[in-house]
A and B are shown apart, each in its own frame.
Chain A
Amino acid sequence: MESQTNIDISRRNFLKTSLLASGGMLIGFNFMAAYKPKAAMPTSIENLNFNNFNAYIKISDEGFVTIFSPNPEIGQGVKTSMPMIVAEELDVDWNKVTVVQAGLDTKNFKGQIAGGSQSIRSNWNVLRQTGATAKQLLINAAAQKWNVDASTCKASKGIISNAKGETLDYVDVVKLATTLPIPEKVTLKEIKDFHIIGKEIVNVDIDKIITGKPLFGLDFKTEGMLYAAVVRPPAFGQTLVSFDASEAKSISGVLDVFTIGEKARNFLSKGYVSWTAILSESDKIVVVATSTWAALKAKKTIKAQWKQATELESSAFHDKKLMSLLEGDTLKVVREDGNINDAFQQADTIIERTYHSPFLPHNCLEPMNFYANVTADKIELVGPTQTPEEVSKAVAVLLGRKVEEISVEMTRMGGGFGRRLYSDFALEAAEIGAKIQKPVKMVSAREDDMTTGVYKPSVKYQIKAAIKDGKISGYQLKEAAFNGNMYGAIAHFFPAGCIPNYKVATASVDSKITTGAWRAPYTNFLAFAEQSFFDELAAAIKIDPIQLRLDLLQKVKNTTDKKIQYSGERMENTIKLVREKSNWGKVSNGIYQGFAAYYSHNTHVAEVADIELKDGFPIIKKVTVAVDCGVVINLSGAKNQVEGGVIDGIGHAMFGDMSFENGKPTAKNFDVYRLIRMQETPKVEVHFLQNDLSPTGLGEPGLPPAGGAVANAIHAALGKRIYQQPFVKELKKSSVLG
């Protein structure tokens, strides 16, 4: 808890001020970094550069506050919530605040990433201190004007007052404030005094969104800009042999057809390690045209021949590979407590289950696209990327240019879900731009996105538990996955610390299918497997499933194990809140409930799904959610994230289905690939735990428990356990539904 000063960075080095030539005060500061001692402040908004500072606050002569916010907006709400934190501590009226997406200088500043629900968590202190320091500076200026001690003055909502009851507006002292030294000691507000944080604040881009103003990468345009569509290998593992583009070239608007790939191969051969650059070894065919339609239409007419060096992968192959990993000897132990073998030997009952999930595409609604203008002296890149810093570094290597010559402008993103952490599309645009030396926008069609993208890897879990004298005495989890395994502290999540004999082991095998982070990586499916397994354990022990979790959590309280980050107390409180709000066990006949709880991305979440049967088919009516994410910044945005996360989790658990035949995804577009739609959605009721703890992320944590809660409710309704996603496919196979 931090309600008072607790500075862990040198405040001297994180904030500077200047007087604007046009009037008003400019405060430059940095997220995640200190500025260089000699950094000069700009004195006009027109010349605002982001070389030395990556964020600015402007207080105008009229008292309006503009916050230039740097972090990428992919729909998780940070463009609204991060400035709210600054405005709260600066103590101004939110109605006078405007937020502008800041540009980016990637050579000086790091940390420009939206991912892992970390934006708020990692910037909370810096943002508060920035606002509080600026406020103190204005108070000091007023005190000097009044010739009183600053400690006798205070400020609230843009007005400074002294002990005599005199007041000055911020705008009355901005000029003087720019001449004063940056205060070194500031007091942060008490959480009870917040008047912006914790309120429902409407998304700062709302007016632009509802009137259709250009915001997204696909909306960005420059004079004379051309459009490019790219033909990539149709199957993972293939490379281009030859192609015929004669029909494409006859389509009006088509200017050129050529291949790219040499630079990408050269880039890969340099061994430059960049997780943003998922690139194919193959040549790709590029159509450049004067309109998007001409480029996309011409692309479809190209006849290409492809070859492969190794066998192309199919879903049956994937399934076999993962099974052999679970049974093989490549498993690596990532956590082990007690003696799991003894626990199994002494058990009264052993339960073992295997869970399977397919590869899944991200399906951001805005297809991948990027603008590149490559000229002799500079490279301009504009578009929807979650990792602009990585883009500029990778493009420098790709094109053999200096990072200083490259600018990356982030647009608002039409969804991310992890996909835009990998900026292969930006590198393609850069290679095309280098070839034609004209401004160009690379545009993917939906089919390109769905079939040549990045996927959540297919994963299997095998979980085995020992029950002795009505207690869980042993728990073993094996993970088999493609191209990587669970990371960070996941092996130390619940039930680590709750069960005396505990073991987690993982194994991975390479696949040609490009895989990557997908909203709540690994836990998005692990939570379903684990939480449905616990539902089975509760049934075997004949105990209420919620009570089983609460009993287990007692054992992790006061743990001294530093690897265990989740809190027994916080999880217990979260579970108790959802039990109360969902009327657990007290609902009327015909409603079947399922429970799941999960800690991920530093946030504790518990969910109860309510299901009714209609013609024997389960209809998810409602999901009650309890969340402990510490202090809630924007109540409206926070609820929106959780509502969306829960429905997204249910949608993919119920319908998400992507299989491969000979290296090719079997679904290409939304006619075959099913995303959740309105009539399939439950009402999501969100309750936040009230506390003063530092805020944690919300972009991901709502999703993982959703599948488990629904699977457990389906079991309550139909008596059927589900071990595979998508659930709908499993239910159709089942005789329960006929």
Chain B
Amino acid sequence: MPNYTLSINGKTQTVTADADTPLLWILRDELNLVGTKFGCGIAQCGACTVHIDGIATRSCQTQISYLEDVKITTIEGLSENGTHPVQEAWKEIDVPQCGYCQAGQIMTAAAFLAENKNPTEEEIREAMHGNICRCASYNRIEKAVKVASEKMS
């Protein structure tokens, strides 16, 4: 199996894996970064969302062989101590129920707000449409994205 050198949360990591291994499983099984979740394996639910060069990306459909020259950020690296404005908003609004999808929701929201600092309600709903919350905490996700945008502006 080949070696790959990855930049994850500002650290350089070398892993040995088959070229087709999805980033999701490298993070979870090899690097113990289990905040990125497995939900569907086909990029439909968003639980595995990470940032690749700042862009929200489904790690379950991203093969490791394509990732050598990019910067990867996971929920564990979004901030030092959970102090990213999106994380703070999630806490303020008390968003989670089971909590399983929330890392993916937060990563999607953080990438979206980095591009659009002052979104409308419609833009927020469109940006978050790709992430499933099976507990249906959608009202609070929407509210928390709004609160985060206010914190960031």
Contacts and interface: CB of A to CB of B under 8 A. Distances in A.
Contacts of A402: none
A212 B99 contact: no
Contacts of B78: 211
A669 B60 CA distance: 14
B39 A365 contact: yes
Q: Which of A366, A417, A646 has the most CB of B within 10 A?
A: A366
A293 B21 contact: yes
B131 interface: yes
Given A413-B98, A446-B40, A640-B94, A293 B137 contact: no
A174 interface: no
A446 B100 contact: no
Given A644-B137, A676-B136, A366 B25 contact: no
A214 B102 contact: no
A684 interface: yes
| Most chain B C-beta atoms within 10 Å of own C-beta, residue among A214, A291, A363 | A291
Interface string B22-41: 10010011101111111111
Nearest to B127: A678
Given A221-B32, A446-B42, A414 B132 contact: no
Contacts of B90: 206, 209-210
Interface stretch (A62-70, A73-81, A311-319, A482-490): A73-81
B71 interface: no
A193 interface: no
A365 B101 CA distance: 7
- Among B32, B40, B75, max chain A CB count under 10 A is at B40
B28 A216 contact: no
B18 interface: yes
Contacts of B18: 252-253
A218 B44 contact: no
B82 A210 contact: yes
Interface stretch (A197-205, A240-248, A526-534): A197-205
A670 B140 CA distance: 22
Contacts of A296: 41
B136 A648 contact: yes
Contact of B135 (A207, A209, A415): A415
Contacts of B38: 218, 292, 367
A365 B134 contact: yes
Nearest to B145: A678
Q: Which of B34, B36, B76, B134 has the most CB of A within 10 A?
A: B134
B81 interface: yes
Contacts of B132: 365, 670, 675, 677
Nearest to A681: B138
A363 B76 CA distance: 26
Interface size class of chain A, counting residues whose CB lies under 8 Å from the partner chain: 35 or more
B23 to A, nearest CB: 10
Interface string A656-672: 00000000000001110
A207 B82 contact: yes
Nearest to B99: A209
Contacts of A447: 41
Contacts of A640: 94, 97, 137, 140
A678 B142 contact: yes
Contact of A445 (B41, B101, B135): B41
Interface string B68-102: 00000011101101100001001100101111111
Contact of A678 (B39, B82, B98, B141): B141
Contacts of B99: 75, 203, 205, 209, 215, 412, 414
Contacts of A678: 125-126, 128-129, 131, 138, 141-142
A446 B94 contact: no
A643 B136 contact: yes
Identify which of A363, A670, A676 gathers the most chain B CB atoms within 10 Å of its CB: A670
Contacts of B44: 669-671
A34 interface: no
A210 B86 CA distance: 9
Contacts of A221: 32, 34
B82 A211 contact: yes
B139 A681 contact: yes
A648 B135 contact: yes
A202 B88 CA distance: 12
B103 interface: yes
A219 interface: yes
Contact of A209 (B21, B96, B142): B96
B94 A365 contact: no
Given A293-B25, A446-B40, A202 B94 contact: yes
B10 to A, nearest CB: 15
B49 to A, nearest CB: 11
Interface string A444-467: 011100000000000000000000
A291 B38 CA distance: 14
Interface in A633-691: 636-637, 640-641, 643-648, 651, 669-671, 675-679, 681, 683-684
Contacts of B35: 211-213
Nearest to A220: B34
A548 interface: no
Contacts of B141: 678
A364 interface: yes
Taking each of B38, B82, B136, B140, which has the highest tally of chain A beta carbons within 10 Å of its own beta carbon?
B136
Contact of B103 (A212, A297, A445): A212
Contacts of B138: 647, 676-678, 681
Interface of A: 74-77, 200, 202-203, 205-207, 209-216, 218-219, 221, 227, 252-253, 291-293, 296-297, 363-367, 412-417, 445-447, 636-637, 640-641, 643-648, 651, 669-671, 675-679, 681, 683-684
29 contacts: A74-B98, A202-B91, A206-B94, A209-B96, A209-B103, A210-B91, A210-B96, A212-B36, A218-B38, A252-B18, A291-B25, A292-B28, A292-B38, A364-B98, A364-B134, A365-B39, A365-B134, A414-B99, A414-B101, A446-B39, A446-B42, A641-B97, A669-B40, A676-B138, A678-B125, A678-B131, A679-B126, A681-B139, A681-B142
Interface of B: 1, 18, 20-22, 25, 28-30, 32-42, 44-45, 47, 74-76, 78-79, 81-82, 87, 90-91, 94, 96-103, 106, 125-126, 128-142
Given A210-B91, A681-B142, 17 more contacts: A75-B98, A200-B94, A203-B99, A205-B99, A210-B87, A211-B82, A213-B35, A218-B34, A221-B32, A221-B34, A645-B136, A671-B42, A671-B44, A676-B136, A678-B129, A679-B125, A681-B138
A-B pairs, 8 with minimum CB distance = A212-B35, A75-B98, A414-B100, A212-B75, A647-B136, A670-B44, A75-B97, A293-B25
